[in-house]
Amino acid sequence: MTVYRERLWAPPALYLATALVIPASLLVFLPISVTAGVVVAIGMELAVLVLLWVLAPVVEVTDTEFRAGRAHLPRTAVGEVAGYTGTAATSQRGPELDARAWTLFRGYVHGVVKVEVRDAADPTPYWLVSVRDPEAVTRALTTGATSAGTATAAER
């Protein structure tokens, strides 16, 4: 059962900014042929929009695992969980970041959640993942934690 799910869509301004592909394509291909210029400009714009849509990662918490993009972490390996916003999130992504941590960042998503990895065989100390609502992800990962083998909010 899915407890929390969000797709890290790019903001509308980024989709609008992709329109700059059109004049760039026209500048290159119009001297060759007007038809080629228009077709390539439209094709490249559609390709960029599809890439933005397809490459938007999903962050999901289920009863059995935490997923961030293509990576999966079993709930039994989830340790302490903390959410950060504002300058605390910036600090987690910068000076406080452990080089061994697994990260999934999107510059347009300002919150992050830090998930400790409790697996002796895994050299990764924690995951740091961009999320829009760090509190909701923290709650989702700590709710029902005793049955999944993770730390509850009271234990943190």
Amino acid at 33: S
The three-state secondary structure class of 29 is helix
The tens place of each residue's pLDDT in the chain, 156 residues long, gives 999 999 999 999 998 998 888 998 899 998 999 999 999 999 999 999 999 999 999 999 999 999 999 999 999 999 999 999 999 999 999 999 999 999 999 999 999 999 999 999 999 999 999 999 999 999 999 986 433 333 333 322
Could you state, in order of their start, the residue ranges of all structural domains in the chain? 8-54, 58-155
The number of angstroms, rounded, from the C-alpha of 119 to the middle of its chain's C-alpha atoms is 22
Q: What is the pLDDT of residue 156?
A: 26
The three-state secondary structure class of 105 is coil
The candidate with the shortest Cα–Cα distance to 128, out of 140, 119, 137, 139, is 137
- DSSP tag of 57: -
The arrangement of strands across the sheet holding 78-84 comes to 78-84, 111-117, 126-131, 102-104
Pull the structure tokens for residue 50: 């599809």
Cα–Cα distances in Å, from 93 out to 58, 87, 116, 156? 19, 10, 15, 21
Q: Where are the beta strands (DSSP E) in 1-156?
A: 2-7, 58-62, 65-68, 71-74, 78-84, 102-104, 111-117, 126-131
Helix (H), strand (E) at residue 87: helix 86-93
The whole model's pTM is what?
0.79
